[in-house]
Structure 1
């Protein structure tokens, strides 16, 4: 299945929020301090539609077919994590009166693949791989940058896809009680 891959726009926020939830539902609940899917989707929709934050449309690539967004990949420069996270934490404090303890999941020297997900009705069609190949071409081959990501050690299927597309394990991390492998692909 050949989809169009393009940069997201603020108008995509409502359609993208459920996809980001697929990739980070437990994390969003930790961030906002409650397990309320409607509030979590509203939180993500708000962040995606804004500029200059960790979840902004500015950092998202979408895979689209016939006007339907079937997948996304969200990446940003790891050196900018603290700056991009600040408006998110400020919004959480104001909107949810919650002050989550967060740890740095990335670092300077890598473009961090924060989230990637494919809509449930499109899983197994190669869209995730198409997104990965696109971002590897854009960042690794064209910009000569290293891409890093974290994958849950309890998700061997995702890790296998990353390894098949050229990523290799460089470290292990623990975030929000999950054991994660830190993978990278270099130019």
Structure 2
């Protein structure tokens, strides 16, 4: 298993995996429940630079040249600038203007999505990706990682808590109750 940064050429393989983590949100953003159009939307965004879903912010887990999982994260302070090209594209391509919420802010690297392809679930790939990004951002760059987890997804929350995250607040976005979790550098990371 190899973990590497994504490339624009990975967009086609990554889009369905990303959709696993954010299907309801993508349907809301594009204003329609059409899986093919949702995958097209993500494929486009992933292949572009400087946006919220860009390959620039994605780490992939790959085996035998097959992408099995992904983690997408970016600096929370950059949310508005990274989101704007996505919103512009949605308005142009889907004639839709969604109301959006700030899921992150300055002071954390935001883990937007983490997902594993269906055929690879249960193999520890999500945990491998999580440990990799914690090593990279928290231990090496001394950054705080934040994420939101649905309160109705105790399995995911349990994984994050076992990995060292702790709850810092609650949020309500897109009609869902979410726990805001963070993992911060410790004295031994200095």
TM over 0.5: yes
Following superposition, the deviation at residue 73 of structure 1 comes to 0.1
Picking from 120, 123, 140, the partner of 1:122 is: 120
Shift of 1:33: 0.3
Once the two structures are TM-superposed, the CA of residue 129 in structure 1 deviates from its matched residue by 0.3
Which runs of structure 2 are paired with 1:84-95 in the superposition (5 Å)?
Answer: 84-95=82-93
**Corresponding position of 1:25:** 23
The correspondence of residues 130-145 of structure 1 with structure 2, limited to 5 A, is 130-145=128-143
Alignment match, 2:2: 4
Aligned to 1:39: 37
Q: Provide the alpha-carbon RMSD of the alignment.
A: 0.3
Gaps of 5+ in 1: none
Unaligned runs of 5+ in 2: 186-190
Q: CA deviation at 1:158?
A: 0.3
Q: What's the TM-score, normalizing by structure 1?
A: 0.99
Question: How far apart are 1:43 and its partner, in Å?
Answer: 0.2
* Separation (CA, whole Å) in 2 of partners of 1:57 and 1:145: 20
Deviation by residue 1:89-141 (Cα, 9 ceiling, x = unmatched)? 00000000000000000010000000000011111110000000000000000
Give the match for residue 152 of structure 1.
150
Aligned residues: 185
Corresponding residue to 2:65 among 60, 64, 67:
67
Per-residue Cα deviation, 1:48-77 (whole angstroms, up to 9, x for no partner): 000000000000000000011000000000
Normalising by structure 2, we get a TM-score of 0.97
